[in-house]
Each structure stands twice: as structure tokens, then as C-alpha cells.
Amino acid sequence: MERALLAGCFDRIVCATDSPEIETVVTTAGFDCVMTGECATGSDRVAEAAKKLGLDLVVNLQGDEPLVEPSVLRDVAKDLSEHPDCWVTVACPLDPAEAELKTVVKVLVRDGVAVDFTRSVPPAEANLWFQHQGIYAYSRDARDEFASLPQNKIELERSLEQMRILGRRPIRIVESAYSSISVDVPSDADHVEKILLDRLLNPSLDEPFRKGNERI
């Protein structure tokens, strides 16, 4: 939420959760929070929260992206405002070493639009794919359509919510030069906490992260 605030482009920043513990952390930090029921996916949760708040255009920054580059959020917000009938998400170059790592989601892009998402690709094909990042943006109509659809087989098999809407609406890709240092497994939290502590002790370290080079 602090990274979203740094983007400087949002009318309102709100955490959507069904966890009282998260609500306490968020409100203690001075941010707004809206409680939802149990939801199948993050986008289902955002759809519920946005309906409660009466929102139209929304950027969904998932909680596992605590080091997101604020300029990327600005790019996503701008793209959504120009293409409100589409979904918008983010991708950066894929590290070939992570081609088969299932915690790193891959997206195949054609003419600026996603054509497929998966969790593992053959290393020889890594150059054809991008790394997907946990940011979505959509309008009220796009969210309501998504939430009205049942989870399909491929969404459940891959555990990728965007497969529910792929092929129904364009999923536009904002290409980023910055790698995603996300929290996908417990050990990732230790890595991110170290980065945040280093930044706290030395603010000059708070610079964008690029793929293959943790600090520039």
C-alpha cells in the first residue's frame, strides 16, 4: 500500500481482505480497509470490495508484490483509462533459469495482448515468454463479468484466475523492465524483509529493480 501511495496516481488506496489480522495491520498503519467474505481468487475479492465501495476503474495490486515499482502502477492506471473494456496486467523479461519454476507465472504475449499463461515452460522456449506480475486492472463491467463466471477447468488446474477471462476480453500487457521480487513461498518473505530493512537503513537503495540486476 505504501508503494501504491508512492505512485501518486490513485484517488483512493484500499486493502480488501477477509482477515481481521490483516485489517488490524492495515488500519494501524493508517490505510483504509474493506472486509469481504471468503473468495475464490483475488479478482473475485476485488469485485466484491469494489462493488461495496461503488468503484469503476480499479488497479488490483496483489499483496505478494511489496516491492512493485510505482512507475509501473502509473503505466497500468494510464493504460486502463485508455482501454477500459480490457483487462490490463504486467509482464517483465523472463529469467531462463526460472522457466520451470512453478511459483513464477509465465505469459505469452502477441501484439501487446496475452494469449496464454502457464507456470512452467521448457527452458529452450524461455525467450518466447515473459514473467507475469501480480497486478491487474479492470473496469466495473469487466470485473462483474469475471465474477459472474464459474471457475473453469484450466483455471483450477493451473491455479491462475486470469484463465477464466482469457479469450473473452483482451488482457493487455504493460511491459516492464523491472523484475518482480514477489513473496510466493515463506523463504521469499525473508528475502523481501532484508531488502526493505536495507532500504530503511539506507534510503538511497530505494531504486528500481531490473531483471538480472537487483539494484541499479
CATH number for position 34? 3.90.550.10
| Domain assignment present for 19 | yes
| Domain assignment present for 103 | yes
Convert the pLDDT of each residue in 175-207 to its tens digit.
Answer: 999 887 888 888 889 988 998 888 888 876 665
| Domain assignment present for 201 | no
| Domain assignment present for 188 | no
Compute the distance between CA of residue 73 and CA of residue 153 in angstroms, rounded to an integer. 31
| Domain assignment present for 101 | yes
Q: Are 59 and 77 in contact (CB under 8 A)?
A: yes
The predicted pLDDT at position 10 comes to 97
CA distances from 11 to 4, 103, 137 (A): 11, 32, 14
Per DSSP, the three-state class of 173 is: strand
| Domain assignment present for 66 | yes
The amino acid occupying position 60 is N
Q: Are 149 and 165 in contact (CB under 8 A)?
A: yes
| Domain assignment present for 33 | yes
> Residue 63 belongs to what domain range?
2-182
The predicted pLDDT at position 216 comes to 24
Residue 5 parent element (H or E): helix 2-7
Query: What secondary structure does DSSP assign to 53-119, as a single string?
Result: HT-SSEEEE-TT-TT--HHHHHHHHHHHHH-TTSEEEEEEEPPGGGTT-TTS-EEEEETTEEEEEES
| Domain assignment present for 76 | yes
The predicted pLDDT at position 202 comes to 80
Compute the distance between CA of residue 36 and CA of residue 33 in angstroms, rounded to an integer. 10
Cα–Cα–Cα angle for 180, 4, 155, rounded to 5 degrees: 50
Tens digit of pLDDT at every position of the chain (216 positions):
999 999 999 999 999 999 999 999 999 999 999 999 999 999 999 999 999 999 999 999 999 999 999 999 999 999 999 999 999 999 999 999 999 999 999 999 999 999 999 999 999 999 999 999 999 999 999 999 999 999 999 999 999 999 999 999 999 999 999 887 888 888 889 988 998 888 888 876 665 544 443 332
The predicted pLDDT at position 214 comes to 39
Half-sphere exposure of 84 (CA within 13 A, CB side): 7
What's the pTM? 0.89
Specify the number of domains making up the chain: 1
